[in-house]
Amino acid sequence: MKHTMTIFRSFLLLFTIFCWGCNHHPNNVPELFPCNVIVKNDSTPIQGALVTLGLEEGSSTWALSGVTNSSGLAIIKTTQQSWQGSGVPLGKYIVTISKLPDTSSLPTRSLSPTESASERERYQKELEERYKALPREVPEQFSDFGTSPFRISVESGKNNTFDIDISKIPPIKK
C-alpha cells in the first residue's frame, strides 16, 4: 500500500509539472485581451468558418484564430506551439474568413487495379473542376490576407467584439 501511494504521488507530481509547462505563458507573447468576431451573410450567421487574424504591419511567432459557432461567433485565441491563450495582443489586424464548400455532392469511387495512369489523372482533373465549381458560403477572396477587406483594431478597455457582414463586400471578379 505504501508503495502504491508513492507511485501515485510521483505520478501526480509529474502530471502537475507537465500541466504547468503546457500552460506556461511564452515570454514573447504580450498580454492578451478578449476578442470576438461575429460573421454573418446579411443577417444569417455563418457556422464553421475559420477566422484568422494577421498583423497589418510586421509579423509574429503566434497564430490568432477561432471557429464560428451556430451564432456566427468566433472566440479568438492566441496559439504558439503547444500553448494556447484566450484573447489576442493589442494591435491592428487583417481578418480572413474561410470555409470549405460542402463536398457531399462530389462523386466517390474506388480505384480499379486495371485503371491506367491517364484515366486516374483524367478523373482527378474532373474532380478538381467539380470542386472549384461548388458553391461557397464564404467567397475565397476573404480567406487571403492579400485580398481580405476586413480590418479590426484590438484596444485596451474596449469591447473588442467585431461584426463582419460578408454580404456588404462585392466579390472580386476573376
Kindly give the confidence (pLDDT) of every residue in the chain, 174 residues in length, as a single tens digit, with 9 standing for 90 and above: 444 433 434 443 334 434 444 556 666 788 999 999 999 999 999 999 999 999 999 888 899 999 999 999 999 999 998 899 999 999 999 999 999 998 888 888 777 788 888 988 888 898 899 888 888 999 999 999 999 999 999 999 999 999 999 999 877 765
Ranges of each domain in the chain: 31-99+138-166, 101-135
Which of 76, 67, 97 lies closest to 167, judged by CA? 97
d(CA 90, CA 96): 18
31-99+138-166, CATH topology level: Immunoglobulin-like (2.60.40)
* Global pTM value: 0.76
> For 91-148, what is the HEC assignment?
EEEEEEEECCCCCCCCCCCCCCCCCCHHHHHHHHHHHHHHHHHCCCCCCHHHHCCCCC
